[in-house]
Amino acid sequence: MKSMRWKSIRKGGKRRFVLLHGMMGWGLVTAVIWVFIMGIMAKGRIPLDMSRLWVAFVIFPLAGIVMGLVLWNHCEAEYRKTIKREISDGEPGDGG
């Protein structure tokens, strides 16, 4: 059940979720992929100039924080809907 998984994840807290899933999970992974792709496009040379590294390792993780917040809010809304539905259907819910 999805709501049980989210219940477990949300116990870790919003800050932890945003840092792990947003900043690190999306932001840093995207940064590494972006640097790799830029290296391929530069015919094998890794683009080490500061402007590209700034974009890769500052802007992408910051955008990841936003992504994490959006994802947290979406998952919370879905979790609440599921819990309300289970309560109204008389199913044994997982509390909340």
Render 65-91 in DSSP notation, one character per residue.
Answer: HHHHHHHHHHHHHHHHHHHHHHHHHT-
pLDDT of res. 94? 53
pLDDT of res. 78? 94
**In whole angstroms, what is the distance from residue 44 CA to residue 76 CA?**
43
Class of residue 56 by CB neighbours under 10 A (exposed 0-12, middle 13-18, buried 19+): buried
Per the structure block, which two tokens stand in for 34? Answer: 């972006």
R_g (Cα) of the chain, nearest Å: 19
Model confidence at 90, pLDDT cuts 50, 70, 90, reads: confident
Per the structure block, which two tokens stand in for 46? Answer: 């890794």
Per-residue pLDDT for 95 more than 60? no
Model confidence at 93, pLDDT cuts 50, 70, 90, reads: low
**In whole angstroms, what is the distance from residue 41 CA to residue 30 CA?**
16
- pTM attached to this predicted model: 0.79
Please write the tens of the pLDDT for every residue from 15-71: 999 999 999 999 999 999 988 888 777 776 655 677 778 889 999 999 999 999 999
